[in-house]
Amino acid sequence: MITNTFYSQENHGPYDIYQLGDFLLESGEVINNCKLAYTTFGKLNNNKDNVILMPTWFSGTSKDMEAFVGEERAINPNNYFIIIINQIGNGLSSSPHNSPEPIAMANFPNVTIFDDVRAQHSLITNKYGITEIALVVGGSMGAQQTYEWAVRYPKMVKRAAPIAGTAKVTSHNIQFTQTLIESITSDPLWNNGSYNVHTDVKDGLKRHANIWSVMGLSTEFYQKEMWSIYDVNSFDEFIHEFLQPLYQKMDPNNLILMARKWQKADVSKITNGDLAEALRGIQAKVFVLPIDEDMFFKPSDCRAEQKLIPNSELRMIYSSVGHFALPGPEGNSYHKQIDQHLNELLACTK
């Protein structure tokens, strides 16, 4: 267990903590005194049916998801009770860096997307008595959790909007996340995950950022030299003053845990590997929202799954940024698209 001020209320709050107790994982391992960090907006109505649930993406926190919430937005706290829940391992919820022995650091148990969803289910049912969710919406790893929600709790989820993600991880994504893992573990100061402070692994985290710079941003982003959306003025500043410092603030064990979770995402575990059968069981109205220039979750991969989902539509998001469009660095041009699709989805009664 180590201290990392990056994962603080000052940087990522305000958030509350829900105590799960000793949480049994899909692997049979246990997270002792498991904690979920979450934040809410709006009020739960008397029928408890105005709930929007938002899980987080790789390395992201509830603070990132707040960009989708607003009184002029589709996710409007005047109309909905919005719950943003931080996935296990993201640094705010129970994670390798903030857990005590015997599950500290590299000894943290193996976690799956289904474990995240079961933990989230426990929070919203036990704390709030919620039995119906108007919308689950998340991007990237948040989309993986969105699919898992729709498959595992089909009667509970009325609408789902997976953004830039798939229900089953592709071989391409498995290989990509393996390079992310190895960029960190190849650092000599990684020390099998037993470093003293996260900055010991600064070279590994730098390589981690460099890999994201290749795949997280589209070729169009570089061709158009869109550095200004990140408040920098050049390619070198984007890499060395924005992207590398961003990842060098994070905990290496946390990043590896999330990457391994990403590698194993697969809703078809519930149907003995039959993806079509798993997706046919979804009862929610689903808008599948790929990003056109995304090099991780290609629109063609998203479309292939969407065709297997009853009562679903594919709605393309257009962005020159690629996968890193998710938080909305392009501003209104991106958020207007998201809001239009989510408004139309929320208006659907079937």
Tell me which residues are annotated as active site.
140, 294, 323
Judge contact between 63 and 12, C-beta under 8 A.
Answer: yes
Supply 119's token pair.
């933990």
Evaluated on CA atoms 324, 261, 267, 275, the torsion sign reads positive
Whole-angstrom CA distances from 80 to 1, 43, 77, 133, 135 are: 37, 7, 5, 10, 10
Tell me how far CA of residue 170 lies from CA of 130, 140, 144, 174, 339, in angstroms.
33, 13, 12, 6, 28
Q: Are 223 and 326 in contact (CB under 8 A)?
A: no
* Helix residue ranges, H only, 7-125: 9-12, 62-65, 113-122
Asked whether the beta carbons of 199 and 5 are under 8 A apart, the reply is no
Q: Extract the tokens encoding 69.
A: 């919430």
The Cα-based distances of 319 to 138, 198, 314, 326 in angstroms read 17, 33, 16, 9
Token pair for 116: 């995240």
- The identity of residue 161, as a single letter, is A
In whole angstroms, give the CA distance from residue 167 to residue 189. 35
